[in-house]
Amino acid sequence: MTLDTLVVALIVEGTLILVCLLVLVLLRLYLAARARAVEAGVRLLEPALHGWLVQNADVHQIVELLRRLAPGVAFRSVARLATPYLTLERQQTLAPLLRHETWVREMLRHGQSRLWWRRFDAARLLSIVGGEGDQALIAALLHDRSAAVRLVAIDAAARLGGALVDIELDGLPLRQDAVQAYQLAALARYPGVGAAALLPRLLPDAPPDSLNAWIDASGALASPEALTRVRALSSHPRAEVRLHVARALRRLAEPDTVPVLLALLADADWRVRAQAARALGALRVIQATSALAEAVRDRSWWVRYRAALALAQIGGDAREALLVVTRGEDALARDMSILVAGLSSAAVVEMSEV
């Protein structure tokens, strides 16, 4: 390689680095300018928002103020204020007033953009202002090629319910765990809508993978109607399904749940027994004390761990039962009960949820 070639390579490389640095600086300046514009938008909206939220003042003032802002700034200002303050009730009041505003229509046109971040913004805006007429666009965004867009579209779908929730529930078993967790959190914000869609799906002959996801969804929604159906699946022939049933039932605090969980605590599969112990602890079932104390002597580490945590969670006589095990002859049970008995109540709560 000659010296000339090296010099040319050096110049090209240096130029590329400079261009990259320039792009980074310009991007940073752009983002800073946008953040300042949004902050100004938020400040402009705040007095009207305060009046509406605290004193029930006229909401139309907020709509008027948003018209003065550039579409992107109006959208980001609303999105920022919606997160902490706009309860579903307030959102239902504001959404129809904003939906046909020019800036909203302009932002929603980005729902079909080739750039994912524009579709993302459109999906986010739909989660705030979307109405019945937006079902087709939301359905398309639910199937978007970008995972980020799909995640945000879930919020919009859950808010509107109907066929959109069916699309979500049908796709639930195919999602990755993190997406599924977000999907369930979005559905949990509208529990009635999600529960109604789940009820016809919770059948013993449903495909097991789908059934497991729907059982988890019932638990996340904590819907008594859906969880009553889940309870009826406790004798499902597949251990995987019984495991999900045991986990979900910790959200159904009813007397009829107790014998079902006690039966699951004696299941042949250790994963089911562990989840049943966890549910009995979460529900603070005092009647389960002796069964849980026995489960601290289980041959499976996880069952011993969950049972000991459950006794600590229930407290009172159950905690006494745990302390008795610390002095028992079974070495494995003794080690586990000593470990759990030494935890603070906050640690017990935290570890029980993991």
Partner 1 sequence: MVVATADPSLTRMLAFALDQARLPHVAFRSGTALLRELLAMPVGPHPTVVVLDVDLPGVDGHAILERLGVERPNTFLIVVLSSHADESVQVRSLLAGALDHLAKPFNVRVLMAKLLRWTAISMRCEASL
Interaction residues for partner 1, span 150-209 (CB under 8 A): 185, 188
Note whether 319 binds partner 1 by CB under 8 A.
no
Minimal distance, residue 53 CB to partner 1, in Å:
5
Q: Which is nearer to partner 1, 201 or 257 (CB)?
A: 257
CA distance 132 to 157: 10
Q: Which is nearer to partner 1, 30 or 85 (CB)?
A: 85
Q: Which is nearer to partner 1, 140 or 351 (CB)?
A: 351
Q: Are 276 and 244 in contact (CB under 8 A)?
A: no
Q: Which one among 69, 81, 104, 265 touches partner 1, defined by CB under 8 A?
A: 81
Interaction residues for partner 1, span 95-114 (CB under 8 A): none
Q: What is the DSSP string of 244-266?
A: HHHHHGGG---TTHHHHHHHHHT
Note whether 236 binds partner 1 by CB under 8 A.
no
CA distance 324 to 187: 43
Nearest to 158 by CA among 188, 180, 123: 188
Looking up tokens 């494995």 gives 332
Nearest to 337 by CA among 322, 321, 318: 322
Q: Which one among 3, 54, 136, 331 touches partner 1, defined by CB under 8 A?
A: 54
How wide is the angle at C-alpha 165 spanned by C-alphas 246 and 119, nearest 5°? Answer: 120
- Window of 25-33, 83-91, 169-177, 272-280 that interacts with partner 1 by CB under 8 A: 83-91
CA distance 335 to 332: 5
Minimal distance, residue 87 CB to partner 1, in Å:
5
Note whether 345 binds partner 1 by CB under 8 A.
yes
- Window of 96-104, 130-138, 210-218, 342-350 that interacts with partner 1 by CB under 8 A: 342-350
Instruction: Classify residue 25 by its DSSP letter.
Output: H
Note whether 56 binds partner 1 by CB under 8 A.
yes
Looking up tokens 């007095």 gives 47
Q: Which is nearer to partner 1, 42 or 196 (CB)?
A: 42
Q: Which one among 85, 92, 109, 266 touches partner 1, defined by CB under 8 A?
A: 85
Count of positions on this chain that bind partner 1 (CB under 8 A): 28
Instruction: Classify residue 201 by its DSSP letter.
Output: G
Note whether 333 binds partner 1 by CB under 8 A.
no
Minimal distance, residue 82 CB to partner 1, in Å:
7
User: Six-digit token pair at 227?
Assistant: 């969880």
Q: What is the DSSP string of 278-291?
A: HHHHHTT-GGGHHH
Q: Are 62 and 48 in contact (CB under 8 A)?
A: yes
Note whether 80 binds partner 1 by CB under 8 A.
yes
The pair phi, psi for residue 161, each rounded to 5°, is 70, -155
Note whether 46 binds partner 1 by CB under 8 A.
yes
Q: Which one among 3, 5, 84, 327 touches partner 1, defined by CB under 8 A?
A: 84
Q: Which one among 1, 4, 89, 205 touches partner 1, defined by CB under 8 A?
A: 89
CA distance 302 to 332: 12
Interface positions with partner 1 (CB under 8 A): 42, 46, 49-50, 53-56, 80-87, 89-90, 185, 188, 222, 251, 345-346, 349-350, 352-353
